[in-house]
Amino acid sequence: MKKLLSGNEAIARGAYEAGCEVATAYPGTPSTEILQALAQYPEIKSEWSINEKVALEVASGASYAGARALAAMKHVGLNVAADPLFTLSYTGIQGGLVVVTADDPNLYSSQNEQDNRHFARSAKLPMLEPSDSDEARRFAALAFQLSEQYDCPVLLRSTTRISHGESLVELAERKPGPIPKKAVRDPAKYVMLPGYARPRHPLVEARMKKLKACAESFPENKIEKGEKKFGIITSGAAYQYAREAFPDASFLKLGMVWPLPEKLIHQFAQMVDKIYVVEELDPFLEDNLRAMGIKVIGKEFFPVVGELSPELVKKGISGPEPVPEIEFDNNIPDRPPNLCAGCPHRGVFYALKKLRAFVCGDIGCYTLAAQAPLKSLHTCLCMGAGVGQSFGMEKALGKSEKVVAVIGDSTFFHSGITPLIDIVYNQGQSTIIVLDNLTTAMTGRQGHPGSGFNIYGQPSPRISLEKLGEGIGIRTVTIDPYDLEQVERVLKQEMEDEKPSLVIARAPCVLIPEFRKTKKPPMQVSEEKCTGCKICLQLACPAISWVEKPDPAKKRKGFARIDKLSCTGCEICAKVCRDAAIFREDKN
Amino acid sequence: MSAVTNVLMAGVGGQGVILASSILAEVATESGLEVKKSEVHGMAQRGGAVSSHIRFGSKVYSPLIPAGEADIVFGAELLETCRWLPYLKPGGSIIANLQQIDPPAVFRGEMKYPGGLLEKLKQRDPGLIAFNALEQAIALGDARVATIMLAGALSKRLNFEQALWLEKVRELVPQKALEINLQAFQKGRALAGA
């Protein structure tokens, strides 16, 4: 049966068919849907893990016990999981262990554009890279086989276009994994004391040699013979762009991007007059091919930055020949994403701006508060970084600079707790604000340890931030983010105080069911009273718009209007209005 | 390469562009064609611009439509339709919702919603299909069916059987709003003309 599936759904399908029993992930674009799809299969124990490191550790535990297991994450998630990954390369596995890394060329929803193929080389692990959904399904199954055959985790690399692109997939039946399940007591393999780890390293090197030999005959490394004029070595989404641009060229399509099949590459090089390497992001294949002594053309003609496209491949190879250029109309305004109407984060950022705070930010919807007109978030580095950075800034600047950290609830659980403990232990004075909207909003409202539900939507223990703070020994203050007066008062007080504190601004995300219980009738603007001061527009609420209508008698250029359909009645705008022009229509 | 049909669908997060593109992709799949569909999820939910590339034919490689090769540009919002106009091939068709949704710089009063957009579209496709789908949908009884109405109009520009479209609309729209979605689809077909 053929079905149209996204690459993420296809990876999940492939893992299911391969008998995967345990699957873990922390949500992150573009990888999130892999676990959402895996959770649909009752045979698989799926979980949203607290972060990627824990996800890989849980999956590796299942693998040690003989189960086939998968951990999925976005590219930067693998940085978090790198610690267990590198040593798993030494211990090896029992049941097949597949680590999916979904890279994000062009940074559609990420903080950097790193190329995770480098991880395969540095952790000394094989990496497969599919170029469409059916390959994603097949490669997931192949990855489990390779993992057991060579006793190591296998990396499966996707990119945004593969993960979120849909194409046809041939479905197969589920088969159980071949490894018996038991707790294997083998300290020389699983206890990485220096004395045990030292002899594992030569085994890793020997394994990579065997994998190199395997790559030579790996059926997904394919020569597609075409014209002799030039050949293209490529993989993943780049293969599709290159094939679109040059349907008649010769191709060496690599399904395994590490280790590389040196003999096959030399054989291909003999077949064509010159070789282009078409790859997204870094010259990973190119550098390795050059090291093999193969003359190739690559990044001198293709960008290192951003995504490729059929046009960019055409341009890179055809050189000065005219290729249609896409020129977007500069008069068309951008449409960047925005904090939703009624978003509980808005009032906190408005207050922080008023208090002239320097705000160490973090990863989540609230990072959007860096944009005009709120402009009240001043750093965003990686998950959890804002908490530690605010402490570092305090050490450098003293308390005078009014530095605070804001972090989302899911991000706080992911990696905000350890830096908070660091502040308490090292007697800092920082003010840490958790924007607790009870969900992982940015990636599509997944559960987390503070949300009260698990990946299946079933109730699960809700970890209390207040009790966590108490246990650490930091004062916690819980505030209502819609109560602007309280927000300002508490934040001012906490920023002045010399003791550290954890401020919890709690209200449900407007996109989750809990919100409906609190939703109020929409607000309205009195056209009569509005002076056109535009202060409400500084909230960047998509429900509030400006109506240009000069009125010399009223000395105003226009007035504000509130869209009834999108307004949630949060009242923040009424609280900032100096002319009492915003009110709620009384239904009676 | 003319064997591949390229449809670029664009709009604003929340309008249902992804749903409409899924319906088209399923219709093409069911017709026995190879289909690729590509879009970017993530930040779009926060009112950002959304676009989906749908390609179908006997063999499809790139998930992205090459520049200037879209047979159809389908826009659920006027300005977003114009944004993707450079992708339209010469002689290609346009299906445009005349509804305007102000982007942030416009609703904050920093910029004006650009004028003359419909004229720009007409220059590229004098026979374009354009109507205000939001107003039509409200008249029908539910603002949320606007984009399905546009999908109905789209069905008139592609050679798939109507029954197949209706089957996929039935499968993919929320079941409690099935009837009004089917009505909207038919209304869209009627508004597209002959």
Count of other CB atoms within 10 angstroms of residue A148: 20
Per the rule left: phi > 0, alpha: psi between -120 and 50, beta: everything else, A342 is left
Same domain, A106 and A182: yes
Output DSSP code: residue A531: -
Strand partners, A99: A71, A155
The reply to whether A331 falls in a domain is no
Give yes or no for B59 touching A (CB within 8 A).
no
Give yes or no for A556 touching B (CB within 8 A).
no
Rounded CA gap, A109 and A89, in Å?
29
Question: Which helix (H) or strand (E) covers residue A73, if one does?
Answer: strand A69-74
Same domain, A74 and A185: yes
Rounded to the nearest 5°, which phi and psi values hold at A213? -65, -40
pLDDT of B41 higher than 80 = no
Same domain, A37 and A173: yes
Here the CATH number for the domain that contains residue A541 is 3.30.70.20
Q: Which residue of A has its CA nearest to B64?
A: A309
The reply to whether A337 falls in a domain is no
The reply to whether B105 falls in a domain is no
Same domain, A226 and A248: yes
CA-nearest of A10, A13, A251, A164 to B63 is: A164
Strand partners, A548: A558
The reply to whether B80 falls in a domain is yes
The reply to whether A159 falls in a domain is yes
3-class secondary-structure state, position A154: strand
Q: Checking DSSP bridges between strand A475-479 and strand A501-506, what pairing results, if any? A: parallel
The reply to whether B169 falls in a domain is yes
Same domain, A45 and A158: yes
The reply to whether A465 falls in a domain is yes
pLDDT given at position A518: 81
Domain boundary pick from A181, A196, A217? A217
pLDDT given at position A325: 58
Same domain, A154 and A236: no
Same domain, A294 and A307: yes
The domain of A564 spans 523-584
pLDDT given at position A469: 98
Here the CATH number for the domain that contains residue A413 is 3.40.50.970
Per the rule left: phi > 0, alpha: psi between -120 and 50, beta: everything else, A580 is left
Q: How many domains does chain A have?
A: 4
What is the Cβ-side half-sphere exposure of residue A26, based on CA atoms within 13 angstroms? Answer: 26
Rounded CA gap, A336 and B43, in Å?
9
DSSP assignment string, A474-524? -EEEEE-TT-HHHHHHHHHHHHH-SS-EEEEEE---TTSHHHHTT--PPEE
Give yes or no for B137 touching A (CB within 8 A).
no
**Torsion sign, CA atoms B156, B159, B162, B168:** negative
A373 cis-preceded (ω within 30 degrees of 0): yes
pLDDT band at B194 (very low <50, low <70, confident <90, very high): low
Count of other CB atoms within 10 angstroms of residue A476: 18
C-alpha separations of A437 from A319, A441, A469, A515 in Å? 51, 8, 17, 10
Same domain, A69 and A96: yes
**A384, burial (CB in 10 Å: exposed 0-12, middle 13-18, buried 19+):** buried
d(CA A77, nearest CA chain B) in Å = 16
The reply to whether A42 falls in a domain is yes
Q: How many domains does chain B have?
A: 1
Rounded CA gap, A72 and A23, in Å?
8
Domain boundary pick from A468, A496, A516? A516
Q: Which residue of B has its CA nearest to A242?
A: B62
pLDDT values of chain A reduced to their tens digit, one per residue, 588 residues? 789 999 999 999 999 999 999 999 999 999 999 999 999 999 999 999 999 999 999 999 999 999 999 999 999 999 999 999 999 999 999 999 999 999 999 999 999 999 999 999 999 999 999 999 999 999 999 999 999 999 999 999 999 999 999 999 999 999 999 999 999 999 999 999 999 999 999 999 999 999 999 999 999 999 999 999 999 999 999 999 999 999 999 999 999 999 999 999 999 999 999 999 999 999 999 999 999 999 999 999 999 999 999 999 999 998 766 555 566 777 889 998 889 999 999 999 999 999 999 999 999 999 999 999 999 999 999 999 999 999 999 999 987 789 999 999 999 999 999 999 999 999 999 999 999 999 999 999 999 999 999 999 999 999 999 999 999 999 999 999 999 999 999 999 999 999 999 999 999 999 999 998 888 999 999 999 999 999 999 999 999 999 999 999 999 999 999 999 889 999 999 999 999 999 997 654
| Chain B residues whose beta carbon lies within 8 Å of the beta carbon of residue A132 | 36, 63
Here the CATH number for the domain that contains residue B154 is 3.40.920.10
B43–A325 CB contact, under 8 Å: no
B108–A546 CB contact, under 8 Å: yes
Same domain, A296 and A418: no
Which residues between 154 and 183 in chain B have a beta carbon less than 8 angstroms from any beta carbon of chain A?
none
Q: Which residue of B has its CA nearest to A29?
A: B42
What ipTM was reported for this prediction? 0.94
Q: Which residue of A has its CA nearest to B109?
A: A546
Same domain, A244 and A169: no
C-alpha separations of A359 from A380, A391, A443, A505, A535 in Å? 10, 12, 23, 15, 22
A310–B107 CB contact, under 8 Å: no
Here the CATH number for the domain that contains residue A308 is 3.40.50.920
Same domain, A569 and A556: yes
- Length of chain B equals 194
pLDDT of B76 higher than 80 = yes
d(CA A526, nearest CA chain B) in Å = 18
Query: Per residue in A18-60, pLDDT tens?
Result: 999 999 999 999 999 999 999 999 999 999 999 999 999 999 9
pLDDT, mean of residues B16-35:
96
C-alpha separations of A352 from A336, A390, A425, A487 in Å? 22, 14, 26, 9
Question: Contact A499/A429 with Cβ under 8 angstroms?
Answer: yes
The reply to whether B126 falls in a domain is yes
Strand partners, A101: A73, A157
pLDDT given at position B42: 54
**Torsion sign, CA atoms B106, B52, B173, A102:** negative
**pTM score > 0.90 for this model?**
yes
Best interface-test mutation with A: which of B45, B100, B101 has the largest number of A CBs within 10 A? B45
Count of other CB atoms within 10 angstroms of residue B117: 21
The reply to whether B138 falls in a domain is yes
pLDDT given at position B1: 40
pLDDT band at B187 (very low <50, low <70, confident <90, very high): very high
The reply to whether B50 falls in a domain is yes
The reply to whether B107 falls in a domain is no
A542–B107 CB contact, under 8 Å: yes
Same domain, A421 and A502: yes
Give yes or no for A370 touching B (CB within 8 A).
no
Contacts 24+ apart (CB under 8 A), A448-453: A448/A48, A448/A50, A448/A409, A448/A410, A448/A413, A448/A414, A449/A50, A449/A413, A450/A409, A450/A410, A450/A412, A450/A413, A451/A409, A451/A410
The reply to whether A335 falls in a domain is no
| Chain A residues whose beta carbon lies within 8 Å of the beta carbon of residue B44 | 337
**Torsion sign, CA atoms A121, A122, A124, A125:** negative
pLDDT of B40 higher than 50 = yes
Query: A44-66 b/e with 16+ CB inside 10 Å = b?
Result: bbbbbbbbbbbbbbbbbebbbbb
Best interface-test mutation with B: which of A33, A74, A75, A332 has the largest number of B CBs within 10 A? A332
The reply to whether B9 falls in a domain is yes
pLDDT given at position B45: 65
Per the rule left: phi > 0, alpha: psi between -120 and 50, beta: everything else, A398 is left
C-alpha separations of A96 from A175, A203, A314, A447 in Å? 13, 18, 40, 27
CA-nearest of A413, A408, A414, A366 to A73 is: A414
d(CA A167, nearest CA chain B) in Å = 5
Domain boundary pick from A217, A240, A265? A217
**From A108, A165, A332, residue closest to B114, measured CB to CB:** A332
A337–B48 CB contact, under 8 Å: yes
Rg, Å, chain B Cα set:
16
